[in-house]
Structure 1
């Protein structure tokens, strides 16, 4: 793939898991919008876990990239191994720009994936930026989380 088609996503420093869950034992957890999100099709609600990132601002050749106009979205991948490849299907895709506020999207509540996740399992999450042209960045280094 030509150099211009890959983005620098130094997400080791950019992807941050902000743990917003309580300690359990009496309180309920929320998804950030006041609603609990049941795991496993209606079981125990998962607490909110926010994945946050900074979008890329250049290609690997240092050509400028404007995230507001050049990015279409972000793909979020979750698995237990932390190994992600081009053949994998993203668990979630979020728009790069919030259609209501016209601001960059920089976070995602991983509890929104509750139907596919279970409590007590260590998961790995990775992301890719997707350009309006369909080009995709490399995978970010995986970050760990669990519920």
Structure 2
């Protein structure tokens, strides 16, 4: 009797597994109409997803502050770039001193120049135009970093 119950359970389990397997093995019909519908749905979903916007200069200055250590600044910049909150536009170096640098970040309403001395952020300034940034950095004897 025990063998009969084990055999029955085994048969039942195998039939269920066979039924599950046969559903996966059936080839799907490929209708070009279905494919077009799926593409339309995907495009609609992509359009509905919110597009990341750059932070304002003020918000960037709240997140990147004078005195912030270089590692924290780098981590913050990387996180903001990955989320599409800013982008690095240009890099500058002090003429004759590779340790003193400036990075220009794009904001929603202009540009933010972040100056560092190799250890920490020494200055954070915002500007309405790239020309203003360049004039400011040229006054400090900084030149564009063309190494990358």
- Smaller-chain TM-score bracket: under 0.3
Normalising by the residue count of structure 2, what TM-score does the alignment of the two structures yield? 0.24
Whichever structure has more helix as a proportion of its residues is 2
Which of structures 1 and 2 has the larger relative contact order (alpha carbons within 8 angstroms, sep 6+)? 1
